Amino acid sequence: MARNEQRPHGAQRPTDRQTSRPGTRSPGHRGHRDEQPSKGRWSRDDRERRGQSGPGRPTDGASRRPNWTPPEERNRDDRRGPAFRTRGSAQGGRDHQRDDRVHRGERPRSFDRARDEQHGRGRAGSDARDDRGGDRRFDDRRPARDDRGGDRRFDDRRPARDDRTFGDRRPARDDRGGERRFDDRRPARDDRTFGDRRPARDDRGGERRFDDRRPARDDRTFDDRRPARDDRTFGDRRPARDDRGGDRRFGDRRPARDDRSSSDRRPARDDRGGDRRFDERPRRDSTYYPSADSKPFAPKQDVVLDRLEATSIRAEDVEGVSFTDLGLGTGIAAALKTLGAPAPFPIQAATIPDVLAGRDVLGRGRTGSGKTIAFGAPITELLTRNRPERREIGRKPRAIILAPTRELAQQINHTIMTLGRAVGVFTTVIVGGVKQDRQVESLRRGVDIVIGTPGRIEDLIEQGRLNLGAVEIAVVDEADHMCELGFLEPVQRILRGTRHGSQKLLFSATLDSEVATIVREFLPTPAVHEVAGEDQATSTIEHQVLVADRFDKDAVLEQIVRNPGRIIVFTRTRAYADRLAEQFSDAGIDSASLHGDLNQSQRNRALEKLRRGKIDVLVATDVAARGIHIDDVALVVQADPPDEYKTYLHRSGRTGRAGSNGRVVTVIAPARRKRMQELLQRAEIKAPMIPVRPMSDVLDSLTVPPVSAGVEPELAVAASE
């Protein structure tokens, strides 16, 4: 009954085995993956199926492990029975250990150890904890936070935005627009505005082919987009568009904002509690923000920025294309296969050739669509070219990848390390929260790719232990987020430290003009790619909004997490995450919390427990909202609604990955309905609002229910609606 056997999320198992046995090429090791071809999700069947059912594949590297099972197969064969028994006092889930269980249990440990050794990552043990736990909490954290809170948060934000809005915009437009963007856009837009748009959208995934295609494709980015936006913003948009006209790309922010201000901002603000902080902000010396009083600080209005125009690729365009066709070497192609990615996903097929060609690239592909490999594979390939015959000790890294959280950096490393190992390209993780010793040591030995978070990277640079002068390729993952306040400046400094003219790649599921500042400075003439047809119609995620009285909320949430299957609950605050996790545990539901108040080993442990099936419920803050891949998350619960539509999309994206089915429920108070509606519109998601109370039946069937033989899970899901 082991639910685990049904969920091959033992992502690391293979790796573990390999690392513990040198000579992975020999039988029994990774090199022999062929023995488990069924694990790859790209069997012929899958491919055919995929052809018609939209995005049917895992995207992030982590999900493509050798023993990854196609979602379709899981659904068909596994998603019934014990794994889905209702969770409760029985604590399902950790009782049974199958054969593979054993491996699984061991796996993590050796995996970690191997990784630590190779990458200098702090051992998850007590050391790490000691450092951080102690100091940080007290000395560092508080102060740090206070500072930030005070100066940074306030001062920076406003100004930051203003700058952008102002100084940047204009110039930005002129510069950039100038060449490429501009030209393309104009024409594109005009045409599109009408005729193309509609059609483009409708068929987006579908038939789109006919005559429009050519034209459509080039401009499509736009076409699709525009319409989409209109719907979302409704009132505001139209006007906005007209004004903005042609050049909008980046520059449009102003107009956009203005328009929006009225409808979007207001509401947002009011709810938010508006002035709270306002009075506390003495630090702000100034009156720099005149309007501040009316709107103390809307940290971030949920503004919908323009999506960058891009060239769209369609799933059909990728049929029959192999990684080697795209320009990757056979070594990397083979490694990709072991990762469960025998053939490229659309976003990969779109960006890999351009990355290999040395172009700057902006890539947008929805959550779980394969972005990590989209940049990881080609940069690994590039590093095998023009390299010294010998790997020198202490050589400087030639590529760097920035991520917003430590966990994401580690996950990206896991994928790229696997690819790199196949061709002698070495990686290391440089993140905070752990001792720097091992990291420094690995740098001293010499690595080719550094993957990390901005803070520690800058720290080591300042210490003279990391030199980015030889970096030829820099990647910013979750780029739009990395361009937000607090991240932008460090990112800029780091990018400026790379070799002059280095290639830059920006990726995100929600890539929009928020990255304009970076693009202007670092990506003079980027190729912009996205995947066509990524709308709700082709999504495998179902959304619902549950409206509950605030006093019923905790009971409702508890009932929700009793549903079988793996569940991630998002909260707005760290304290609430802890409180809920505790409540669930007290109620007999094994769970853990994950947020920034925990030390790194606690964070790693919480994630690992979920990955290994030790727990089925993880209560996290937005630290886990972006990029983190966990196999088979049956349900994402938003205990607090997000403030931004992008956050909604990223949190939701923890489920339904690589074409698997997923569900998302957002619990809101009645007073929040309107705001929620608006947010959903911006996210272009339609979700029913369902009033609920404790004991409501609907709360008991939120994850895929046990399927009786012969009944397809999809049908069961539909029926349960």
Partner DNA sequence: AAAAAAG
Contact residues toward DNA (CB under 7 A) are 131-132, 135-136, 140, 144, 148, 152-153, 272-273, 276-277, 280, 297-300, 404-406, 431-434, 436, 452-459, 462, 484-487, 572-575, 595-597, 621-623, 643
- CA 44, CA 37: separation in Å to the nearest integer? 11
Of the pair 104, 153, the CB lying nearest DNA is at 153
User: Which CB atom, from 446 or from 455, has the smaller least distance to DNA?
Assistant: 455
Give one DSSP letter per residue of 342-358, joined into a string: SS--HHHHHHHHHHHTT
- Tell me whether residue 49 or residue 574 sits nearer to DNA (CB atom): 574
Q: How many residues does the chain have?
A: 721
Nearer of residues 539 and 647 to DNA, judged by Cβ: 647
End-to-end Cα distance, the chain: 27
Choose between 403 and 557: whose C-beta lies nearer to DNA.
403
Least Å distance between CB 128 and DNA? 9
Give phi and psi for 460, each to the nearest 5: -70, -30
In this structure, the number of other CB atoms found within 10 A of the CB of residue 552 comes to 17
Q: Which two tokens stand for residue 667?
A: 């619990």
CA distance 26 to 269: 62
Q: Which two tokens stand for residue 259?
A: 């328009």
Tell the smallest beta-carbon distance from residue 623 to DNA (Å). 3
The neighbour count for residue 435, using CB atoms within 10 Å, is 17
Cα four-point dihedral sign 105, 110, 113, 118 = negative
Closest CB 553 distance from DNA, rounded Å: 17
From the CB of 10, what's the least distance to DNA, in Å?
25
Report the 10 Å Cβ neighbour count for 90: 10
Closer Cβ to DNA, 7 or 456, answer by number = 456
Shortest Å, Cβ 277 to DNA: 3
Distance CA 373, CA 354 (A): 14
6 versus 593: smaller Cβ distance to DNA: 593
At 362 the three-state DSSP class reads strand
Minimum CB distance to DNA smaller for 210 or for 288: 288
Residue 273 or 710: the one with the smaller Cβ distance to DNA is 273
Strand partners, 517: none
HEC sequence for 260-312? HHHHHHHHHHHHHCCCHHHHHCCCCCCCCCHHHHCCCCCCCCCCCCCECCCEE
In whole angstroms, the minimum distance from the beta carbon of 594 to DNA comes to 8
Closest contact distance (angstroms) between CB of 560 and DNA is 21
Amino acid (one-letter) located at 695: M
Q: Quick count: other Cβ atoms within 10 Å of Cβ 54?
A: 16
- DSSP, collapsed to helix, strand or coil, labels residue 401 as strand
Place of tokens 């990395």: 482
Question: Shortest Cβ distance from residue 298 to DNA (Å)?
Answer: 7
Q: 67 or 571: whose CB is closer to DNA? A: 571
State whether residue 587 is helix, strand or coil.
coil
CB of 622 to DNA, least distance (A): 5
Is residue 664 within 8 A of residue 638, CB to CB? The reply is: yes
Residue 265 or 277 having the CB closest to DNA: 277
Q: By the 8 A CB rule, do 631 and 568 touch?
A: no
Rg (CA), the chain: 24
Q: Which is nearer to DNA, 60 or 223 (CB)?
A: 60
Quick check: 459 and 436 in contact, CB under 8 A? yes
CB of 656 to DNA, least distance (A): 23
Q: Which residues contact 286 (CB under 8 A, 6 or more apart)?
A: none
Q: Which of 284, 292, 237 is nearest to 264 (CA)?
A: 237
Q: At its nearest, how many Å lie between DNA and the CB of residue 235?
A: 24
- Min separation Cβ 489 and DNA, Å: 9
CB atoms within 10 A of CB 201: 22
